[in-house]
C-alpha cells in the first residue's frame, strides 16, 4: 500500500512523533494506521500517543524583549507540574531562539512543532500545544507575565514613551482585558450591534414605557459612549489608581498597540 503525505501527517498528529519515524512506521505496517501506532509505541517513540486528545488547560507564557523586538511563545500542556519544570522552560527558550532565526511565524512554528514531536512530547509525556510563537517590532516594548504564567501582555509604545509606565499598563491589560487602544478604534458595526441590544433591553423595561423616541435615543447614545470608553484601554480607569484614566497616566499618544495572551 502506498504511504501518502496525508497519512504521515495524520500519524504524526495522533502520536506526536517526527515525520521520518511516522513514515517508516507506516511503511513497516503496510499503511495500516493502528498497526503503525502500535509499532511506534513498542519502540517507545509514541509515549504520548494516548494523550494526543487530552485537554491542555495548563501551560506557560514566555516573553523576551531585545531592543525593539519582543518575542512571545505560548505553549499549553495538561498539568501545572509539567508547565513549571526545567524541561518545559528549556523548550520555551529553544522555541524563542527558533523564532529569532526564522523569517516568519509560520516557518518558526513548523520547526518548533517538529522539535516538540521528536523530543519534548516524549520527555514530558503530555499533550503539548504551541498556541503562539511570534515576534513584534516597535519603538518601545514593555511586557508583563502574571505569576501563574498563564496570562501576559505586551505594550508597544511610540518613541519617547516611558517604559516603566508601559509595564504598569501591561499589568492593567492582563487584569481588565481591553479590546482596543482608543474609543475610536471600536468599529461602527460593533457599536451598532450593541446599540440594537441595549435598545431592545430598554424597550422591554416598563420604566421606559411612554418615553419619547428622542429621549430614548439620547440615552442610547450615552450608553454607546460609555461602551466605547469601557472597552478602550486609554479611557479605562487605571487599576493602580481608579480615579485616573490609563491615557492620563501614560500619555494619550504613548501607546501604539497592545497584545494580550492567555492559557
Task: Give ranges for CATH 1.10.8.10 in the chain.
Answer: 5-51
134-161: per-residue pLDDT in tens? 999 999 999 999 999 999 999 999 999 9
Predicted local distance difference test score (pLDDT) of residue 17: 75
User: Given this model, what pLDDT does residue 15 score?
Assistant: 74
| Predicted local confidence at residue 258, as pLDDT | 97
pLDDT of residue 34: 86
Where are the CATH 3.30.479.20 domain residues in the chain?
Answer: 58-161
Give every residue of the chain whose pLDDT is below 50, as ranges.
none
Phi and psi dihedrals of 57, rounded to 5? -100, -5
Which pLDDT does position 45 carry in this prediction? 66
What span, in angstroms and rounded, lies between the C-alpha atoms of 197 and 218? 15
The total of other beta-carbon atoms located within 10 Å of residue 3's CB is 19
Question: So what CATH class is 5-51?
Answer: mainly alpha
58-161 fold:
Tetrahydropterin Synthase; Chain A (3.30.479)
Amino acid at each position: 500500500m502506498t504511504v501518502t503525505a496525508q497519512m504521515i501527517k495524520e500519524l504524526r498528529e495522533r502520536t506526536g512523533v517526527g515525520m521520518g519515524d511516522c513514515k517508516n512506521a507506516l511503511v513497516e505496517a503496510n499503511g495500516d494506521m493502528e498497526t503503525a501506532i502500535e509499532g511506534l509505541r513498542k519502540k517507545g517513540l509514541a509515549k504520548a500517543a494516548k494523550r494526543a486528545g487530552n485537554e491542555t488547560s495548563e501551560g506557560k507564557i514566555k516573553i523576551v524583549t531585545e531592543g525593539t523586538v519582543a518575542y512571545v511563545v505560548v505553549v499549553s500542556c495538561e498539568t501545572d507540574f509539567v508547565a513549571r519544570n526545567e524541561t518545559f522552560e528549556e523548550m520555551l527558550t529553544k522555541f524563542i531562539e527558533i523564532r529569532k532565526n526564522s523569517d516568519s511565524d509560520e516557518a518558526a512554528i513548523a520547526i518548533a512543532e517538529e522539535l516538540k514531536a521528536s523530543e519534548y512530547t516524549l520527555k514530558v509525556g503530555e499533550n503539548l500545544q504551541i498556541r503562539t510563537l511570534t515576534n513584534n517590532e516597535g519603538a518601545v516594548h514593555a511586557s508583563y507575565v502574571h505569576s501563574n504564567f498563564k496570562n501576559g501582555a505586551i505594550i508597544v509604545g511610540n518613541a519617547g514613551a516611558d517604559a516603566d509606565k508601559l509595564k504598569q499598563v501591561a499589568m492593567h491589560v492582563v487584569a481588565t482585558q481591553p479590546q482596543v487602544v482608543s474609543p475610536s478604534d471600536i468599529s461602527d458595526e460593533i457599536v451598532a450591534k450593541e446599540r440594537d441590544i441595549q435598545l431592545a433591553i430598554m424597550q422591554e423595561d416598563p420604566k421606559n414605557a411612554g418615553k419619547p423616541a428622542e429621549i430614548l435615543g439620547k440615552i442610547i447614545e450615552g450608553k454607546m459612549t460609555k461602551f466605547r470608553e469601557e472597552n478602550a484601554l486609554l479611557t479605562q480607569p487605571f487599576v493602580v489608581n481608579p480615579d485616573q484614566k490609563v491615557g492620563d497616566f501614560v500619555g494619550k499618544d504613548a501607546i501604539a498597540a497592545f497584545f494580550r495572551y492567555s492559557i
